[in-house]
């Protein structure tokens, strides 16, 4: 991953942070699996927290598309897994944005930004996205970013990434929205990255709430990297098929954290402000000052 290449220069000046908070929310945090439905309480709570100067990276299109299709047709799609994911994501994308629009303050504009790996591995495309994101707060707008699953098959993506990576160049894939959130947080130099999940944070033992790890820190980027690596050893399993789980969240969090961003992994039912202030449980990843 090209975490060390995101030294974005705009004109002659290095970009200063204009985003206080980047929020990422996972698919399973947006639905009620036991009911097979959208969790509108989560949308309502998060929607009331969002404002210009914040940026949202949202998963959920595929899961919401699956739920919607099942409700309308009384069954799930059958066939190739990649095709099914494409079809569900295409169906769920508009519902995802419509639901956010319903719960976010109507005084704020919403701007959907669908990204692919190629946008971050190409300097001109990356700068184009950056300029769009830089304009949004001053225009009273909140960007909502998601990976554009319907137009990118895994086979083609892997071939493109291999070609880009020829000669030893590191690349970003971004099909995992945890990685997308980390890349975006570094791109806009966010002060804070909040990753919302179905759990309170990272546990030594996922089945024991008392083992929640509240802080992972270091005095230097190297020390932080070593401490994160030790904690990753505790992480096993994922909330759904195709997800990379807690270990991936830690791995991707490390990039922005080493750059000075404070990263919080916390439960989606908590208020963003409560997470950052310490009122709500979380795992806080940062470099000690």
pLDDT at 277 > cutoff 90: yes
Give the pLDDT confidence score for residue 16 in this predicted structure: 62
Average pLDDT over residues 160-166: 49
Give me the percent of the chain exceeding a pLDDT of 90. Answer: 63
Q: pLDDT-derived band of residue 167, with 50, 70 and 90 as boundaries?
A: low
pLDDT at 202 > cutoff 70: yes
Spatial contact of 139 and 109, defined as CB atoms under 8 Å apart = yes
pLDDT at 227 > cutoff 60: yes
Give the pLDDT confidence score for residue 3 in this predicted structure: 34
Which letter does DSSP use for residue 184 in this model? H
Q: Give the Cα-Cα-Cα angle 143, 145, 150 (nearest 5 degrees).
A: 140
Q: pLDDT-derived band of residue 213, with 50, 70 and 90 as boundaries?
A: very high
pLDDT at 170 > cutoff 70: no
How distant is the alpha carbon of residue 83 from its chain centre? 23
How far separated are the first and last CA of the chain, in Å rounded? Answer: 26
Give the pLDDT confidence score for residue 241 in this predicted structure: 43
Which letter does DSSP use for residue 66 in this model? H
Q: Most distant CA pair in the chain: distance in Å?
A: 57
pLDDT at 250 > cutoff 70: yes
List pLDDT tens digits, range 64-111. 999 999 999 999 999 998 899 899 999 999 999 999 999 999 999 999
List pLDDT tens digits, range 185-200. 999 999 999 999 989 9
Q: What tokens does 67 get?
A: 């739920």
Give the pLDDT confidence score for residue 126 in this predicted structure: 86
Mean pLDDT, the chain, rounded, equals 85
For 110-141, b where at least 16 C-beta lie within 10 A, e where not — what string? bbebebbbbbbbeeeebeebbeebeebbeeeb
Q: What tokens does 232 get?
A: 């990753």
CB proximity list for 106: less than 8 A, separation 6 or greater: none
pLDDT at 181 > cutoff 80: yes
How distant is the alpha carbon of residue 149 from its chain centre? 14
Give the pLDDT confidence score for residue 7 in this predicted structure: 39
Distances 262 to 151, 184, 202 between C-alpha atoms, Å? 33, 14, 15
pTM: predicted TM-score of the whole model, two decimal places: 0.85
Q: pLDDT-derived band of residue 115, with 50, 70 and 90 as boundaries?
A: confident
Q: pLDDT-derived band of residue 176, with 50, 70 and 90 as boundaries?
A: confident
Average pLDDT over residues 129-155: 85
């Amino acid at each position: 991953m090209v975490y060390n290449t995101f030294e974005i220069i705009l004109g002659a000046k290095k970009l200063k942070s204009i985003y206080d908070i980047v929020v990422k929310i996972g698919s399973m945090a947006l639905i009620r699996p036991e009911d097979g439905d959208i969790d509108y309480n989560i949308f309502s709570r998060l929607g009331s927290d969002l404002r210009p100067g914040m940026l949202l990276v949202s998963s959920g299109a595929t899961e919401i598309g699956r739920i919607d299709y099942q409700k309308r047709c009384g069954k799930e799609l059958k066939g190739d897994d990649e095709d099914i994911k494409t079809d569900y994501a295409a169906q769920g994308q508009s519902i995802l944005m419509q639901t956010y629009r319903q719960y976010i303050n109507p005084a704020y504009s919403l701007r959907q930004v669908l990204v692919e790996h190629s946008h971050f591995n190409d300097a001109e495309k990356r700068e184009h996205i950056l300029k769009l994101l830089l304009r949004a707060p001053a225009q009273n707008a909140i960007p909502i970013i998601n990976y554009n699953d319907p137009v990118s098959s895994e086979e083609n993506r892997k071939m493109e990434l291999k070609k880009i990576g020829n000669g030893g160049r590191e690349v970003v894939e971004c099909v995992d929205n945890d990685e997308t959130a980390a890349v975006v947080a570094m791109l806009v130099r966010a002060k804070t990255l909040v990753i919302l999940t179905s759990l309170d944070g990272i546990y030594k033992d996922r089945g024991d709430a008392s083992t929640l790890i509240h802080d992972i820190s270091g005095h230097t980027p190297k020390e932080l990297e070593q401490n994160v690596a030790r904690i990753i050893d505790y992480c096993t399993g994922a909330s759904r098929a195709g997800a990379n789980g807690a270990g991936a969240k830690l791995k991707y969090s490390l990039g922005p954290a080493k750059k000075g961003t404070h990263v919080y992994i916390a439960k989606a039912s908590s208020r963003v402000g409560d997470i950052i202030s310490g009122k709500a449980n979380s795992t806080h990843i940062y470099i000690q000052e």
